[in-house]
Structure 1
Amino acid sequence: MTVNDTTTQRPVFPFTAIVGQEEMKLALLLNVIDPKIGGVMIMGDRGTGKSTTVRALIDLLPEIQVVKNDPFNSDPKNPELMSDEVRSQVLEGKELPTDTVKVSMVDLPLGATEDRVCGTIDIEKALTDGVKAFEPGLLAKANRGILYVDEVNLLDDHLVDVLLDSAASGWNTVEREGISICHPARFILIGSGNPEEGELRPQLLDRFGMHAQIGTVKEPDLRVKIVEERAQFDTNPGEFRGLYEGSQSELRKRVTDAQALLKDITLSEEYRTKISQVCSELDVDGLRGDIVTNRAARALAAFDGATEVTTKHIAAIVTLCLRHRLRKDPLESIDSGTKVQEVFDAVFNMGE
């Protein structure tokens, strides 16, 4: 599918046309390069382009090979990304018809039920016909793609738990009346919300790999540019997208190249130790912060076309990876992001 193909899908605003919000854009790109970072939580004011930016990612996502007519987007070569039915056919040596499709982005509606998200088992059919009649949900559709939850802080905590468990394990299990169905559900979880409407519980927030905070653009000239570009896009989406075709192709190539380069990126033991020291001094619970910071630094190095992680790479992502893992102190006047940066500067001797 080309950038200008607006006949089969609703046209989306070009990612490279989005002005400002660099922190959010970086977090999204790094998760596309390495989905194991663990997703992004984006918190910001209303009307700051959170949903527009997330949906703009669709143009940058590569095409993937899937088993034809399979509801789980099964990978024809990787057993970890196959449904049970596809895996059985592979073991039997059957030839599987394949198709090449765009990586999917699934929107989770705010009022979605657990059955809609996880899928349902037809108990009556299972008992009478002896077959596991399973109706796949949104997690099946999101396998090998992106699951976007707008206003995630308004979602029922139990449903957020289900999403985070599936995102972390890569599998979704549905159990009803002693019947169990399991299918792959490996996706990048992206949540967005407005802090005025409440925060996620700390134990849920910690499960997101990165946390981007965005605010309203203050500079009058930038605001004018944003308004004008939006008006241009709304008037003639195809023409507007054509203006950014070159930059979109260039960014798409950078992301694809980075995905290929990722496995060769080295991170020195000295830097790994210092990252853990930063986490320790910030009193971050568990080791998730250390792991995510290591992964994000490698992904950024790959995005830059480097072969080794530098201090600059770690500095650019450390706040995104750790700010939401700090314990909340109601008497603390310093912003969590500033606190992370100060400890990082001290540990990495950035002031020298």
Structure 2
Amino acid sequence: MQTEVLQETERPVFPFTAIVGQEEMKLALLLNVIDPKIGGVMIMGDRGTGKSTTVRALVDLLPEIEVVEDDAFNSDPRDPELMSEYVRNKVKNNEKISTIRTKINMVDLPLGATEDRVCGTIDIEKALTEGVKAFEPGLLAKANRGILYVDEVNLLDDHLVDVLLDSAASGWNTVEREGISISHPARFILIGSGNPEEGELRPQLLDRFGMHAQVGTVKDAELRVKIVEQRTSFDQNPKVFRDSYQSSQDNLSSQINEARERLPKVKIDYALRVNISRICAELNVDGLRGDIVTNRASKALAALRGRFEVTPKDIMTVIPLCLRHRLRKDPLESIDSGLLVLEKFSQIFGYSTK
């Protein structure tokens, strides 16, 4: 009874399965939940297209994970790479660790956040007087094994974006002050959203996001009416609206859990991997991130669709999302870079993209 009252007093979240359209954005988010090593999503599009709503709706679908109780870093009781120093020492000394199951959490990064708020701070006075490493965890600690969401990421200070991307790539956050250094695990899915009219991210930062989803304003009048009606129904009675989508939410949540379990067994044929690399090479994609992310995303999609083998259609679905932001920009080119990727896919695979 107390739990039900608590849930009703929490801010209601729009159901993920009730979101109309924006399939590209929804797919990119789901694939990153299935395989966090894809490297996050950058969502770019017009204002008022449901970017923040969709990301926050993802929380309801996230599976539960086992964490060490009363640990600020959501430490994994079994994986040393995901343990804080305190938990690792307890494991080394064979001390008993109590664990609880909790939902994967999502942390919102406010635009005005300072580096100390993001990375955490070291209490120098306590360290010098008491000889202990007194660390006040930041948002990166809270986001470990979860999702870190940055709305309007293109307006965030470049230095902070660098810090976020470094932590997301390495899985660790290190804070150094006055000769004292503290590291803790910071494995999270980084999701950024923004409006291109307010400025683009630097190419070297954009490249660090695994996938890039584009969203646009819905032009179809009937679809727009449906979206407005959905939103009105939700605002009038969030509980009734959420209850009407509970079954589809549960189904999708089960699908995600099954896909996560299936993922390690999914195979991608050598010939398909060669073709993916040929596409990246012929499109002059710098580095190998494009190849790696496309392979990972294809496998995650196959797992989501209930298969153990990647097909060319899986690759065709994910490759624009994985490569469009890695192409060199031609100021005279008006065609969407995702279409250029699909043209190249069609040439190399001999597979119609229609």
Q: TM-score, normalised by structure 1?
A: 0.98
Q: Does 1:16 align with 2:13?
A: no
Gaps of 5+ in 2: none
User: Shift of the alpha carbon at 1:4?
Assistant: 10
Look up the match of 2:102: 101
Q: Counterparts in 2 of 1:1-352, with a 5 A limit? A: 6-7=7-8, 9-351=10-352
**Residues 136 and 206 of structure 1: CA distance in aligned 2, closer, same or farther (over 3 Å):** same
Structure 1 residue 148 displacement after superposition: 0.1
CA deviation after TM superposition for structure 1 residue 78, in Å: 1.0
Name the aligned partner's letter for residue 114 of structure 1: E
Q: Once the two structures are aligned, what percentage of the paired residues are identical?
A: 73
Residue 60 of structure 1 contacts residue 252 of structure 1 at CA under 8 Å; is this kept in 2? yes
Contact preservation (8 Å) 1:284, 1:327: yes
Deviation (angstroms), 1:114 = 0.3
Q: Secondary structure at the match of 1:7?
A: helix
Separation in structure 2 between the aligned mates of residue 323 and residue 5 of structure 1, nearest angstrom? 43
Post-superposition offset of 1:351: 4.1
**Which letter maps to 1:277?**
R
In the alignment, the residues of structure 1 paired with residue 130 and residue 9 of structure 2 have an alpha-carbon distance, to the nearest angstrom, of 39
Change in Cα spacing, 1:185 to 1:285, as seen in structure 2 (3 Å) is same
RMSD: 1.5
3-state DSSP of counterpart to 1:6? helix
Distance 2:332 2:15 in 1: 42
Amino acid at match of 1:143: N
Q: CA deviation at 1:331?
A: 2.0
Amino acid at match of 1:100: R
TM-aligned CA deviation for residue 3 of structure 1: 10
Amino acid at match of 1:329: D
Query: In 1, distance between residues paired with 2:47 and 2:3?
Result: 31
For 1:54, give the aligned amino acid: V
Instruction: Give, as a single letter, the amino acid of the residue that structure 2 aligns with 1:169.
Output: S
Q: Deviations over 1:177-232 (max 9, x none)?
A: 11000000000000000000000000000000000000001111111111111111
Aligned residues, how many? 352
Partner SS for 1:76: coil
